[in-house]
């Protein structure tokens, strides 16, 4: 139970009194993103679970596009104080949506490729780091692609059966969409190079030893533990919570500015050159 009470005017009342443009409302964007995310909020703690029809999420362009928009709405809602982010079931991402797997990305028109691939791939990470100004906790509930979001969070919990990996090089792709970047930042260049070239899987316990995750827990303990940590964070003053998150996120901001565009551009150029040589 929180022992601290925020001494601040109601943000919604201030909007009306000052004539400000209204911020996103939880009730609205909870429904807006319901196809891809299950949202629940209690006492300022927002829990977001990825899903596909209620089960583990299947990766495709729709959720690839929805991620960055969700981050913008979450960050722009002043009633959100701590974010808990996870997948559904026992997998982080269960695999590829069959419709996505059947669509050759090379055949997309140039403008569509820019908007749906390059721009979305860039914005979904930038929006997470630059637009969410509250403490973040990830629960890696199993194996799957795109665990970079979980690694970008301030605190990362991991299910004991989960495995982390970057399969890009295995499938003749440059590991440039963010997973490799988070590996480099957290485990160091030498170890990251090994796992990016080999695409070997990293067990939950090894991930903890290398500093990728903070705690390894059974699946049933994952979300309850995240809520315990979130409630403890909520005991501190609002300004302290938010400014601490800014301090902790500063290195990620530098890393994204320096490297993200370079990484993504090389991944996409590699796709083009590989297609051209066929």
* Rounded Cα–Cα distance for residues 47 and 138 (Å): 10
CB 216, CB 208: distance < 8 Å: yes
* Rounded Cα–Cα distance for residues 198 and 183 (Å): 13
pLDDT at residue 81 in the model: 98
| Alpha-helical runs (H) found in the chain | 11-18, 26-32, 61-75, 98-101, 110-113, 120-131, 148-152, 179-187, 189-198, 204-209, 219-233, 238-255, 261-276
> Average of pLDDT values for 103-113?
72
pLDDT-derived band of residue 7, with 50, 70 and 90 as boundaries?
very low
Nearest one of 96, 208, 181 to 144, comparing CA atoms: 96
Nearest one of 4, 68, 75, 76 to 37, comparing CA atoms: 68
Q: What is the pLDDT of residues 210-219, one digit of tens each?
A: 999 999 999 9
Whole-number percent of the chain with pLDDT over 70: 91
User: How many CA atoms, within 13 angstroms, populate the side-chain half-sphere of residue 247?
Assistant: 6
CB 196, CB 166: distance < 8 Å: yes
Q: Which residues are catalytic?
A: 148
Q: What is the pLDDT of residues 154-202, one digit of tens each?
A: 999 999 999 999 999 999 999 999 999 999 999 999 999 999 999 999 9
* Average pLDDT of the chain to the nearest whole number: 91
pLDDT at residue 2 in the model: 39
Domains identified in the chain and CATH numbers:
11-276 (3.90.226.10)
For 80-98, give the secondary structure using H, E and C: CCEEEEECCCCCCCCEECH
Write b or e for each residue in 75-98: b if 16 or more Cβ atoms lie within 10 A of its Cβ, otherwise e: bebbebbbbbbbbbbebbbbeebe
Q: What is the largest CA-CA distance in the chain?
A: 64
């Amino acid at each position: 139970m929180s022992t601290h009470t925020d001494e601040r005017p109601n943000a919604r009342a201030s909007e009306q009194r000052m004539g400000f443009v209204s911020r996103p409302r939880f009730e609205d964007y909870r429904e807006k993103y319901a196809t891809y995310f299950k949202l629940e909020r209690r006492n300022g703690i927002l829990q977001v679970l990825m899903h596909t029809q209620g089960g583990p999420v299947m990766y495709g362009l729709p959720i690839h596009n929805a991620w960055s928009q969700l981050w913008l709405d979450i960050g722009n809602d002043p009633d959100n104080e701590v974010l808990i982010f996870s997948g559904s079931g026992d997998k982080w991402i269960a695999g590829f949506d069959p419709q996505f797997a059947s669509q050759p990305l090379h055949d997309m028109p140039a403008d569509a490729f820019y908007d749906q691939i390059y721009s979305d791939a860039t914005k979904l990470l930038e929006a997470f780091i630059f637009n969410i100004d509250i403490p973040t906790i990830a629960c890696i509930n199993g194996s799957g692609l795109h665990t970079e979001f979980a690694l970008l969070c301030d605190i990362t919990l991991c299910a004991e059966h989960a495995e982390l990996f970057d399969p890009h090089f295995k499938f003749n792709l440059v590991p440039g969409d963010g997973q490799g970047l988070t590996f480099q930042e957290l485990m160091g260049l030498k170890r990251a190079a090994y796992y990016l070239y080999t695409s070997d899987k990293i067990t939950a316990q090894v991930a903890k030893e290398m500093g990728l995750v903070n705690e390894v827990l059974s699946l049933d303990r994952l979300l309850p533990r995240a809520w315990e940590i979130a409630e403890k964070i909520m005991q501190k003053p609002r300004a302290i919570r938010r400014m601490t998150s800014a301090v902790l996120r500063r290195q990620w901001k530098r890393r994204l500015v320096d490297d993200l565009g370079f990484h993504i551009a090389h991944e996409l150029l590699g796709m083009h050159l590989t297609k051209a040589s066929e």
